Amino acid sequence: MEVAEVVKEIDSAANNKHIKGVLFIVDSPGGAVAPSIEVSYAIKRLSTLKPVVVYAQGMLASGGYYASVYANEIIANPGAMVGSIGVIMQGADLSELMHKIGIKSQVVKAGKYKQVGTPDREWTSYEKNELNKVIQGTYDLFVADVATGRDLNISDKDFFANAHIFTAAQAKEIGLVDTLGVMHDAKLRVKELSRVSEARWNQEDKFDKFLKQFAAESASLLHSYFPPLTLR
């Protein structure tokens, strides 16, 4: 939900002459659209200056994959799950429950589509069409960036996208990842691409990492009550 600090650290690594290469360890099922793109484009800037490797530790899916697509190489753990290149917007129809407990909504609005997505009634066909317009436009953007970042033929999008979920080996076969390996292999690859004889890894302070994880989990809980347009 909030990626300003992440993007700041990526840009800092790009401008730090002492950092010769960067390894991203990713285990993510996805997330909201805009933050995923912010990280993706920050990695794109970084990868033009120094080697960037993404290691898919467990799950590299949807927004998590979008964030990683412009790395120079993607290495996936053989047991990782990759893909789910798609977009979704969900909502509940609470009208029956509201009727049972005696609640009625009252609305004053200006603009035909201003009430799109509200949960107090079933969505009309024109509202669903309006939402689908947004979903499809976002999906097209997602697929285009994947095709560009991974040098894939966009006409093959029904094979590598379409929200398909792949094993690491299947993802390698269609070009979503470069190689299979474990953390050791990913570190070696960054070292090779960076052409350093002795790698010294700059690792995040454990307490800072805990605070960020706590903040992310709190944000995720909040997000479950106010669901956004999500990459899945």
| Catalytic residue positions, numbered | 62, 114
List CB contacts of 131: < 8 A, sequence separation 6 or more: 89, 116, 117, 123
Contact predicate 195/20, CB 8 Å? yes
Token pair listed for 30: 């996805």
Q: How far is CA 174 from the centre of its chain?
A: 19
Rg of the chain's alpha carbons, rounded to an integer? 20
In 3D space, the residue among 74, 93, 60 whose CA is nearest the CA of residue 23 turns out to be: 74
Residue with structure tokens 């201003």?
114
Local structure of 58: helix, strand or coil: strand
Give the three-class secondary structure for 161: coil
Residue with tokens 């690859």: 189
